[in-house]
């Protein structure tokens, strides 16, 4: 009994300290430790190779600049059901601009292209937030599944170089990364650590406590700190994707959401014999990543269709 009475003040002091700490974090560090649901931890799930991957067989609403519906097929892609190959295939790699963030599925430029090229099956393997690293790993994982004749790789000028320079996205999501060592690309950060947002959804009651969030963040920062890769090996990643696709017997095409001010993209494509095109459009939403509007997707489709015809890919021939 005496030991119990002696321990009571310490227990009460500890409890009071925890309560004060919780109140302090909620008042003064609200933004730092605030958790919210977004596309990556609602429509996607944790993947220890790619960081995140779309959930399979789901239908749900997403809210960006507008409310829109996403439907994922049995493999997790926002696309029509993928059956056995029955005609030529054109596969699209990219991030949320290919995935079609903020627009209905049938409004995307890939779906418009599918209608314009009935002799081709157009496959959309866009995944929001993916950088060139994850796109390279994705095509390596799925090429033999789909056996495409053409792989069109859309490079997002605004953020792909930054994505390739870090192992963390949106502050809480880990991704794999490549470093250039003695001229070779070496994959790092795999298996990918599981970030706090996924634990938040698995243990929602526990992660309502800000002290838990703070301790978990501190633990992750110590065990899995942010890695910066400077300069990011973006060109090497594009060339590695091209090499893989062509060694598999398919044609590699490269698109840019816009060219930079120095025109380096054209010089890069010319040097490495890559057919490329700028798919820019000013028809964008103001927020949530400034993605193309439905009219923007139509404009991009027209540019893409014209480009494909110029290089000999149309509804009649793939030569």
CATH pick for 39-200+228-310 out of 3.40.50.1110, 3.30.200.20, 3.20.20.70, 3.30.1700.10 = 3.40.50.1110
Taking residue 223's Cβ as centre, other Cβ atoms within 10 Å add up to: 8
Distance of alpha carbon 115 from alpha carbon 7, whole angstroms: 75
User: For residue 114, what pLDDT is reported?
Assistant: 97
pTM: 0.91
Taking residue 13's Cβ as centre, other Cβ atoms within 10 Å add up to: 10
Q: Which has the closest alpha carbon to 79: 146, 31, 16? A: 146
User: For residue 158, what pLDDT is reported?
Assistant: 81
Domain map (residue ranges) of the chain? 1-34, 39-200+228-310
User: For residue 262, what pLDDT is reported?
Assistant: 82
Question: Are β-strands 184-188 and 150-155 bridged in parallel, bridged antiparallel, or unpaired?
Answer: unpaired
User: For residue 7, what pLDDT is reported?
Assistant: 59
| Opening angle at CA 169, ends 282 and 159, nearest 5 | 30
User: Rounded to the nearest 10 degrees, what angle do helices 210-223 and 2-28 cross at?
Assistant: 80
User: For residue 318, what pLDDT is reported?
Assistant: 36
Cα-Cα-Cα-Cα torsion 234, 262, 170, 140, nearest 10 degrees, comes to -30
User: For residue 9, what pLDDT is reported?
Assistant: 66
User: For residue 222, what pLDDT is reported?
Assistant: 94
Tell me the pLDDT of the chain (319 aa) as tens digits.
555 556 566 556 666 666 776 676 777 766 777 777 777 778 999 999 999 999 999 999 998 999 999 999 999 999 999 999 999 999 999 999 999 999 999 999 999 999 999 999 999 999 999 999 999 999 999 999 999 999 999 999 888 888 999 999 887 899 999 999 988 999 999 999 999 989 988 898 998 988 888 999 999 999 999 999 999 999 999 999 999 999 999 999 999 999 888 878 999 999 999 999 999 999 999 998 999 999 999 999 999 999 999 999 975 533 3
User: For residue 254, what pLDDT is reported?
Assistant: 98
User: For residue 319, what pLDDT is reported?
Assistant: 34
């Amino acid at each position: 009994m005496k030991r119990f009475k002696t321990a009571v003040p310490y227990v009460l002091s500890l409890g009071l300290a925890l309560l004060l700490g919780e109140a302090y974090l909620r008042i003064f560090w609200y933004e730092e430790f605030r958790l919210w649901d977004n596309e990556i931890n609602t429509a996607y799930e944790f993947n220890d190779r790619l960081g995140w991957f779309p959930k399979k067989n789901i239908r749900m609403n997403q809210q960006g600049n507008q409310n829109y519906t996403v439907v994922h097929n049995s493999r997790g892609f926002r696309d029509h059901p993928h059956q056995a190959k029955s005609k030529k295939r054109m596969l699209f790699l990219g991030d949320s601009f290919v995935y079609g963030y903020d627009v209905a599925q049938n409004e995307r430029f890939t779906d418009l292209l599918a209608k314009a090229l009935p002799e081709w099956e157009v496959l959309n393997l866009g995944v929001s937030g993916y950088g060139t690293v994850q796109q390279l790993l994705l095509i390596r994982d799925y090429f033999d599944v789909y056996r495409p004749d053409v792989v069109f790789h859309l490079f997002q000028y605004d953020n792909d170089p930054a994505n390739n320079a870090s192992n963390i996205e949106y502050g809480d999501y880990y991704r794999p990364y490549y470093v250039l060592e003695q001229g070779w690309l070496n994959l790092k950060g795999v298996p990918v650590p599981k970030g706090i947002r996924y634990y938040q959804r698995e243990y929602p009651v526990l992660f309502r406590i800000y002290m838990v969030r703070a301790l978990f963040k501190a633990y992750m920062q110590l065990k899995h700190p942010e890695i910066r890769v400077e300069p990011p090996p973006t060109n090497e990643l594009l060339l590695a994707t091209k090499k893989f696709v062509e060694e598999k017997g398919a044609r590699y095409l490269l698109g840019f959401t816009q060219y930079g001010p120095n025109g380096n993209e054209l010089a890069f494509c010319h040097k490495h014999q890559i057919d490329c095109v700028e798919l820019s459009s000013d028809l964008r939403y103001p927020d949530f990543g400034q993605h193309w509007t439905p009219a923007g997707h139509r404009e991009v489709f027209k540019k893409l269709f014209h480009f494909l015809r110029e290089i000999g890919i149309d509804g009649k021939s793939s030569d």
